[in-house]
C-alpha cells in the first residue's frame, strides 16, 4: 500500500554499517509499520515466529498520516528503534544509497531465498535498487495495487439495468474501459437509489502527500504516459507531457468534475472508504489492501459489493503499484535475529497463512496456485492487476518529485488552473530541476 506521505523530512542522511550478523540470542525484535488491518494480521502471524524461534516480537505501528515522517526520521537519525521495517516502495533508493537498509543478497544466497519465486513487479518495486539490477534491500512483504469496488446490488437492479442499456446500448456491468467507467459515473451521478441521492465514483484528489498522484497515474499510464524515455533515462520531454498523456489528465479532470461527490477536493484512502461504506458512491478507487475489510462490512459487503481491476484504454491497461517490502534496519543491534524473521517470513507455508488471514502475499507459489482465484472474491482481480502494475519514481529525491507532481496535477484537476498540457509541462520542468541538482542530467 502506498502511504500518506509527509515528506518534508526526507533528506536521508548517509551512514552504512557492514553486514555482520551476530549469534542468535534470546531477545526482542521491534517491527515498524503503519497502523491498519494488515498490521493486525501480521501481529497474529508473528506469534508463530515467536513460538518457533523463542524470539519475542514488539510492534511499532503509527497511522498512515504520520507513518513516513515518523519512520524516515528514525532512519535519518540512525535510531535503533526498528530492527525490521516495512517501508514504502518509494523509499528503496534513498534507503539503499544512504545505508539505512542491510543489503540482503548474501543472506538470500545463503538461505536459498530466490527473488524469482516472487511476483516480478514486487521484486522490482519493493526490493531492487538500482531498479532492474540484482541488488536486493527488502523481501516483498505486502503486495498491493489500485483496484475498484462497486455496488453490485445497485448494478443488479432491473430498472437501472433497463435504463442504462436504453441510454448506452450495453449492459450495466463492471467497466472494462475508462469510457465505460465514465458512462457509469454519469449514470449514477445525482441519482436516487433506495431513497438516497448517490454519486458516480470516488477517486483520489488529496494534495498534501501522494493521493492525487496515486490516482491520476492509473489513467495516465493507460493513455501512454511514461516517466522518461525508455532508451534514455531522465529524458522526460515528450513522454511525461505527450499528447496522449495530456488526454489522460484531461479525462481524470472530467471524471472528477462530472461524477464525484461534492466536497471531495482533498480526499484519499480513508475518505474513499467512508464514501463507499456510507452508500454515497456507486464505484470507488482504492487499494486492494482494504478490500478484505470492505467485503466483511455489514452494510456494503457480502453480496452487495463487487470488484474490478483498473480499466483499460483500448488494449492498454496498467495500475499504480502499491505495497511494501520488509527490510532489516542497518542500525539494529539484533541483525541476526531480524534476518531469522526474514527467513521465516519467506517460507511458503507462512506466506500462505499471511494471505489467508488478511495480508497480501507476493510469493508466486501462493498467488499462482490453482485455488487462489477462488480463495477470495477479489483474488482474481488482484492477481490480474499485479501483472500490469507500474510504479512512481523510487529515486532518492522521490519526495521532491512527488510533491511537484502533486502540486501541478491538483492545481489543474481540482483548482482549475491552466491546461492539462501546461500542468504536465510544469511537471517536466520541476523534475528536470531535481535531476539536474542531483547531477543526473
Pair 275, 328 in one domain:
no
Write the pLDDT tens digit of every residue in 392-422: 999 999 999 999 999 999 999 999 999 999 9
Question: Do residue 286 and residue 345 come from a single domain?
Answer: no
- pLDDT, residue 19, reads 33
Q: Which of 382, 411, 183 is nearest to 286 (CA)?
A: 382
419 within some domain: no
pLDDT of residue 224: 97
Over residues 40-59, the mean pLDDT reads 97
- Whether residue 1 is predicted with pLDDT greater than 90 in this model: the reply is no
424 within domain boundaries: no
Same domain for 315 and 179? yes
Q: Give Cα 306 to chain centroid, integer Å.
A: 20
pLDDT digit string, tens, across residues 65-105? 889 999 999 999 999 999 999 999 999 999 999 999 999 99
- Whether residue 193 sits in one domain with residue 101: no
Helix 178-188 to helix 243-259 angle (10° resolution) is 20
Average pLDDT value for the chain: 94
pLDDT in tens, 288-310: 999 999 999 999 999 999 999 99
pLDDT digits (tens, 9 = 90+) for 260-272: 999 999 999 999 9
pLDDT over 60 at 205, yes or no: yes
259 and 357 in a single domain? The answer is: no
Domain that holds residue 237: 146-320
Which string of DSSP letters, residue by residue, matches 227-290?
SSBTTBTT--TTTTT-HHHHHHHHHHHHHHHHHS-TT-SS--HHHHHHHHHTT-EEEEEEEGGG
When pLDDT is cut at 50, 70 and 90, the band that residue 234 belongs to is: very high
pLDDT tens across 319-330, in order? 999 999 999 999
439 found inside a domain:
no
State whether 266 and 358 are in the same domain.
Answer: no
Give the residues across from 84 on adjacent strands: 31, 328
Distance CA(16)–CA(96), nearest Å, equals 9
Residues in the chain, how many?
441
Query: Strand, helix or coil at 403?
Result: helix
Q: Which helix (H) or strand (E) holds 52?
A: helix 37-53
Query: Which residue shows C-alpha cell 477470495?
Result: 376
* Cα-based angle 90, 120, 311 (whole degrees, multiple of 5): 80
Cα(83)–Cα(330) distance, integer angstroms = 8
Does one domain contain both 356 and 308? Answer: no
Instruction: Give the confidence band of 13 by pLDDT, cuts at 50, 70, 90.
Output: very low
All three cell numbers of 433, joined, read 530541476
Q: At residue 26, does pLDDT exceed 90? A: no
The verdict on residue 414 lying in a domain is no
Q: H or E stretch including 436?
A: helix 420-437
207 found inside a domain? yes
Whether residue 155 is found in the same domain as residue 135? no
Mark whether 355 and 222 lie in a shared domain.
no
Per-residue pLDDT, 14: 32
Can you tell me the mean pLDDT for 432-440?
A: 97
Mean pLDDT, range 339-355, rounded to an integer: 98
DSSP 142: E
**Judgement on whether residues 182 and 262 belong to the same structural domain of the protein:** yes
In a domain, 228, yes or no: yes
**Given a cut of 90, is residue 22 above it in pLDDT?**
no
The per-residue pLDDT for 136 is 98
State pLDDT tens for residues 114-138: 999 999 999 999 999 999 999 999 9
Task: Specify the pLDDT at position 18.
Answer: 32
Examine the fold and report which residue of 365, 390, 415 is the final residue of a domain before the chain moves on: 390
Helices 348-356, 335-345: axis angle to 10 degrees equals: 70
CATH number, domain of 179, equals 3.40.190.10
Residues sharing a CB contact under 8 Å with residue 298, sequence separation 6 or more, in sequence order: none
Neighbour count for residue 389 (Cβ, 10 Å): 25
Among the candidates 320, 350, 370, a domain finishes at 320
Please check whether residue 400 lies inside any domain of the structure: no
Report yes or no on 428 lying in a domain.
Answer: no
Considering the domain architecture, whether residues 199 and 222 belong to the same structural domain is answered as: yes
- pTM of structure: 0.93
Name the domain boundary from 271, 297, 320.
Answer: 320
Q: Say if residue 199's pLDDT is above 60.
A: yes
Predicted pLDDT of residue 65: 83
For residue 25, the model assigns a pLDDT of: 47
Do both 135 and 282 map to the same domain?
A: no
Q: What is the mean pLDDT of residues 192-210?
A: 96
Give the span between the Cα atoms of 362 and 351, in whole angstroms.
8
User: Between residues 19 and 242, which one has the greater pLDDT?
Assistant: 242
Average pLDDT rounded to a whole number, residues 7-28: 43
Contact 433, 128 (CB under 8 A): no
pLDDT > 60? residue 11: no
pLDDT of residue 10: 36
For position 368, what pLDDT does the model report? Answer: 97
Confidence band (pLDDT; 50, 70, 90) for 3? very low
> H or E stretch including 57?
strand 56-62
- pLDDT at residue 177 is higher than 60: yes
- In the chain, how many domains are there? 2
Amino acid at each position: 500500500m502506498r502511504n500518506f506521505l509527509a515528506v518534508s523530512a526526507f533528506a536521508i542522511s548517509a551512514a552504512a554499517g557492514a553486514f555482520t550478523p551476530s549469534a542468535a540470542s534470546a531477545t526482542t525484535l521491534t517491527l515498524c509499520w503503519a497502523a491498519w488491518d494488515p498490521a493486525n494480521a501480521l501481529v497474529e502471524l508473528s506469534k508463530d515466529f515467536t513460538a518457533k524461534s523463542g524470539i519475542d516480537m514488539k510492534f511499532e505501528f503509527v497511522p498512515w498520516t504520520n507513518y513516513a515522517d515518523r519512520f524516515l526520521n528514525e532512519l535519518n537519525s540512525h535510531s535503533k528503534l526498528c530492527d525490521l521495517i516495512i517501508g514504502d516502495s518509494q523509499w528503496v533508493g534513498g534507503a539503499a544509497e544512504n545505508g539505512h537498509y542491510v543489503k540482503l543478497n548474501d543472506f538470500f544466497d545463503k538461505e536459498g531465498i530466490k527473488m524469482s519465486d516472487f511476483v516480478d513487479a514486487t521484486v522490482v518495486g519493493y526490493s531492487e535498487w538500482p531498479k532492474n539490477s540484482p541488488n536486493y534491500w527488502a523481501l516483498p512483504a505486502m503486495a498491493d495495487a489500485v483496484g475498484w469496488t462497486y455496488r453490485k446490488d445497485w448494478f443488479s437492479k432491473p430498472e437501472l439495468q433497463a435504463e442504462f442499456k436504453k441510454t448506452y446500448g450495453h449492459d450495466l456491468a463492471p467497466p472494462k474501459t475508462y469510457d465505460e467507467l465514465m458512462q457509469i459515473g454519469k449514470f449514477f451521478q445525482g441519482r436516487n437509489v433506495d431513497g438516497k441521492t448517490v454519486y458516480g465514483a470516488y477517486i483520489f484528489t488529496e494534495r498534501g502527500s501522494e493521493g492525487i498522484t496515486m490516482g491520476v497515474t492509473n489513467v495516465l499510464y493507460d493513455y501512454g504516459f511514461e516517466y522518461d524515455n525508455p532508451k534514455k533515462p531522465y529524458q522526460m520531454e515528450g513522454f511525461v507531457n505527450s499528447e496522449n498523456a495530456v488526454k489522460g489528465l484531461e479525462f481524470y479532470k472530467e471524471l472528477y468534475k462530472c461524477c464525484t461527490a461534492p466536497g471531495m477536493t482533498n480526499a484519499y484512502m480513508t475518505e474513499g472508504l467512508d464514501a463507499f461504506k456510507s452508500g454515497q458512491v456507486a464505484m470507488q478507487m482504492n487499494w486492494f489492501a482494504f478490500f478484505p475489510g470492505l467485503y466483511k462490512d455489514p452494510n456494503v459487503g457480502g453480496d452487495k459489493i463487487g470488484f474490478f481491476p483498473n480499466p483499460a484504454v483500448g488494449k492498454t491497461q496498467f495500475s499504480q503499484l502499491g505495497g511494501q517490502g520488509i527490510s532489516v534496519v542497518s542500525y539494529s543491534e539484533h541483525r541476526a535475529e531480524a534476518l531469522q524473521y526474514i527467513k521465516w517470513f519467506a517460507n511458503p507455508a507462512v506466506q500462505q497463512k499471511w494471505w489467508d488471514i488478511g495480508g497480501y502475499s507476493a510469493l508466486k507459489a501462493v498467488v499462482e496456485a490453482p485455488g487462489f482465484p477462488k480463495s477470495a472474491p477479489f483474488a482474481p482481480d488482484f492477481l490480474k492487476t499485479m501483472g500490469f502494475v507500474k510504479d512512481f519514481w523510487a529515486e532518492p529525491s522521490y519526495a521532491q518529485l512527488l510533491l511537484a507532481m502533486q502540486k501541478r496535477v491538483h492545481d489543474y484537476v481540482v483548482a482549475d488552473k491552466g491546461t492539462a498540457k501546461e500542468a504536465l509541462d510544469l511537471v517536466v520542468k520541476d523534475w528536470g530541476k531535481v535531476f539536474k541538482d542531483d547531477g543526473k542530467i
